[in-house]
Amino acid sequence: MEREEYISKIVERQKQLSEILGVSGHEEKVVEFIQNEVKDIMNELWVDVNGNLIGIMKGESEDGVLLDAHTDEIGFMITHVDEKGFCRFTSLGGWDPRTLLGQSVIAEPIGKRIHGVIGALPPHITKVEERTKPVPIEQMFIDFGFISKKEANEEGIIVGSVATAYSGFQELVNGKLKGKAFDDRSGCNVLIQTAINIANKKRSHTVCFTWSTQEEVGARGARTSAFTVMEKFNIIMALACENTTAAGVPGVAPYMSPSLMGKGAAITLMDNSMIASKKVRERLIKIAESEKIPYQIKTPSGGGTDAGVIHITKHGVPSGVVSVPGRYIHSPCTIIDRMDLVAACDLVTAFVLHPMD
């Protein structure tokens, strides 16, 4: 396959993954998409009781490498529908409330997509001193255009329905991509492309893929998916594939920037959930340099990933993180550089195919 065609396929898949609604605890459509992408190249593929998708590509050894990405995105759950059809909501995952007012929203309560807007009291009828204060989520509501609670219920919007902010996918100038849910559909994409890349290659070790659920509410899916894989195989190394914070924007000093767009795949040193295995990160750096794959070191910062629970599952496993830098993560839209996404695909593929120490 020509390089441009390879890149185009990755970009198109990013769009498809981004457009799917799959908030924490409701990842089924994301899982279905991934299943269709990889079902013909896996030796084993199944969905476990927690909704995790687990795939196995056998190698010459029963020793294995675990690759993980999470399928969920941050979103909302409806907590109340009033008599006029306005919907109160709570967060599923970590939103910055400053980004939410006036944002478009999507839900799919009975299979069809419906659209709404996040609202609050308009500034024209609030006190002057209130207009400069952040509006807490508790004072916001979603307006789907309903005129009654009865109409909302008939359309499937009830307490417990889920939704998320929606900005649409666009290709921007200079190879930038914009869309929702890049955290962590970027990682899902990297794992899919890695599986495709290694499908017809000699593999010295078994490669185990886990597309795990509910990372945004506490890395819950990875706790069981990693355990399941470690019960079946001797996992000697693990990688979580993620979207991570990119700065490089006005007001952020260089020393405060975890990563930058356009500088390649980001290799983690540490975060709030894990100190990355020296063995894994040195292997990643060595491979990136030998294969001339663009990479950068992610400056230690907050947050966490599925690797935080994977590395202490059962007897433990040396673990690391490869990420795609993105601006404005955990907001209604993220921007990434397509070449960082491609670099992550190339690096994880090379990580799997290079001889294991």
DSSP state of 135: P
Nearest-angstrom CA–CA distance, 85 and 80: 9
Inter-residue contact 57 to 209 (CB < 8 Å): yes
Inter-residue contact 234 to 62 (CB < 8 Å): yes
Q: Residue 186 is encoded by which pair of tokens?
A: 């970027």
Q: Indicate the residue type of 206.
A: T
**Whether residue 215 lies in the annotated active site:** yes
DSSP state of 200: T
Q: Residue 31 is encoded by which pair of tokens?
A: 């899982």
Q: Indicate the residue type of 288.
A: A
Inter-residue contact 103 to 119 (CB < 8 Å): no
Identified catalytic residue from 37, 215, 216, 242: 215
Q: Indicate the residue type of 178.
A: K
Inter-residue contact 305 to 242 (CB < 8 Å): yes
Q: Indicate the residue type of 356.
A: M
| Helix%, strand%, coil% for the chain, nearest 5 | 35, 30, 40
Which sign does the torsion angle of CA 275, 278, 284, 288 carry? positive
Pairing of strands 170-171, 234-245: unpaired
Cβ within 8 Å of residue 252, ≥6 positions away: none
Active site residues: 215
